[in-house]
Amino acid sequence: MSVVALVPAAGRGERLGYGMPKALVPVNGVPLLTRAVQGLFASGQVQHVVIAAPPSDVDLVHTATASLAPAGGAVHVLSGGAERTDSVRLALEHALRVIPDTSIVLVHDAARAFTPPQVIADVVAAVRDGHDAVIPVLPVTDTIKQVDEVGVVVSTPDRAGLRVVQTPQGFRAETLKAAYCSGIAATDDAGLVEKNGGQVHTVPGHAHAMKITTPFDLAVAEALFTGDQA
């Protein structure tokens, strides 16, 4: 039974200001997408990676990633959709059609290119242990305020019960398929499962799984991972 990672990477990443797809922006000379795919395979759990690329850059993404798969594995590249959920849906449909023994599906952000392989392995292990959906999380360290539409504070949630969500998010293939067939909308894939009646389990995340979205994030990553080519 195969573990398949879906990587929605069709975003243009305007906030990074590179004039290229966000996933192809380099950190110390290595594209985010390359690092993310290397990490997935380095976990020792992933057999296939399905990348939803910008339609105009499918060939470029294929060239950048085709050689990353280990023996017995494969990288699949297809055209992504207009929104992230569209890209995940297209990648999921491809996986279920082309890789019929898909049993566990991960959804991973290329922008979290430095997620440690152990976190990926922990997510897969938790799904194998019987959980329908699993997400890596970190405790919230800042005080959080809930505000109304004009910016007035209405409450201060207890941060002890709050978590920051990272990727990869892991699912039994049937669970994620059912969530995407439900017609429900959510801000992430685990949210779809949750709204569709599923229970989402958590495992510890890692600070290195930071999401690289802005030039500041990129500068931090370049400083933290100087000389790191994996």
The pLDDT value given to residue 119: 98
Confidence grade of residue 229 (pLDDT, cut at 50, 70, 90): very low
Give the Cα separation of 57 and 178 in Å (integer).
30
Mean pLDDT of the chain: 93
Reported as a single tens digit per residue, the pLDDT across 159-200 is 999 999 999 999 999 999 999 999 888 889 999 999 999 999
| DSSP result, 22-71 | GGG-EETTEEHHHHHHHHHHHTT--SEEEEEE-GGGHHHHHHHHGGG--T
pTM of the model: 0.94
Of residues 13 and 143, more confidence is placed in: 143
Half-sphere exposure of 170 (CA within 13 A, CB side): 30
Task: Give 147's DSSP letter.
Answer: E
Query: CA dihedral in degrees (33, 223, 136, 91; nearest 10)?
Result: -10
Comparison of pLDDT for 75 and 186, the residue scoring more: 75
User: Which of 24-33, 64-73, 89-98 is the most confident on average?
Assistant: 89-98
Q: Would you state the pLDDT for residue 230?
A: 43
The runs of H, that is alpha helices, within 104-156 are 117-128
Average pLDDT over residues 27-52: 96
Of residues 225 and 226, more confidence is placed in 225
Q: Which of 75, 117, 125 is nearest to 95 (CA)?
A: 75
Cα torsion angle, 184, 189, 190, 193, sign: positive
The tens digit of pLDDT for each residue in 109-168 reads 999 999 999 999 999 999 999 999 999 999 999 999 999 999 999 999 999 999 999 999
Two tokens, residue 26: 């380099």
d(CA 46, CA 74): 10
Cis amide linkage into residue 168, ω under 30° from 0: yes
Query: Per-residue pLDDT averaged across 93-105, rounded?
Result: 96
Check residue 211 and give its pLDDT. 95
| Alpha carbon separation from 84 to 73, 107, 141 (Å, rounded) | 25, 11, 28
